[in-house]
Structure 1
């Protein structure tokens, strides 16, 4: 298996973090993948993704030292993926990056051959999930839903619908990865 960089993105409430956690637990042995750990200017919270938590000052120092392959700002936080998180690519592994929709153009500029995965859900499901989290006011939730509606995924993106059971979305993602592992001439076959 050749190393491949996979950039996973989606609107808040689409269940991207849950899907990536599911993927980590259900990867078949013939799919050696590494989930890149992000560096975030947010303290760790129970139930959140595993990440390197740093202060804004420490993040800026890392950024000035060019430690990040990817870095962006969203929702008042700074996010980065360090270069060493991509090193498994050199060992033939796939590296999964939990990315940002807004940062996708820069990611494609740096890594034009990356595979884009767009995790999405219906507007009703997004709204329900965001309200259930209880982190934001209904006005803030509506703003996030409007941003989700405004975003158009690139035509080449693999779209994963995460409206129902997590295992269903996980199976969609694994099937897409299986197709990508095939030689190009056989990829359109289900």
Structure 2
């Protein structure tokens, strides 16, 4: 397998910040750094990668509040999410103060991502899927070779993302999961934004919201 995966729970919300390392090149990406920068950097050190970029699934504070500070500290670009997430990123200072996260900087990603785009981490190719519903500009990253998806708050083991936030849409979320994620294959493992990993096949069997019998 050319990719190595590490998961570091961060913030009071126990958000899964993922570290991806291309085993062929040593290039690494940090996915959804919501906070706890020293903890994230310690995870990178233990994995032995050199961070080349930061990837974001969406603009909620527990997934991106530390993105700008980390980008400046490491001198690396931020890629993602989709441009409709500007709605949430612009609110970061207010949201982080409200939830006791300290202060987060508003930022403009170096690259907004769209459905069908590709992101490289060393020699690893990640395909981008725009999966709105939890938030309007949420994206999912998919490594076809390693059968691994990083789905943020779209899908969880036994559940799905909330859609009661501003600009959330339950029907859009269900549609994105069933038409964009399920066709990727039952064998695909996924890292959710919170909680344990699962597979698309397991969720199709038993997830009460998007399972085949739901």
TM-score (norm 2): 0.34
Q: Larger Rg: 1 or 2?
A: 1
Q: Quick one: higher RCO (CA 8 Å, sep 6+), 1 or 2?
A: 1
Point out the structure with the larger strand share: 2
Point out the structure with the larger helix share: 1
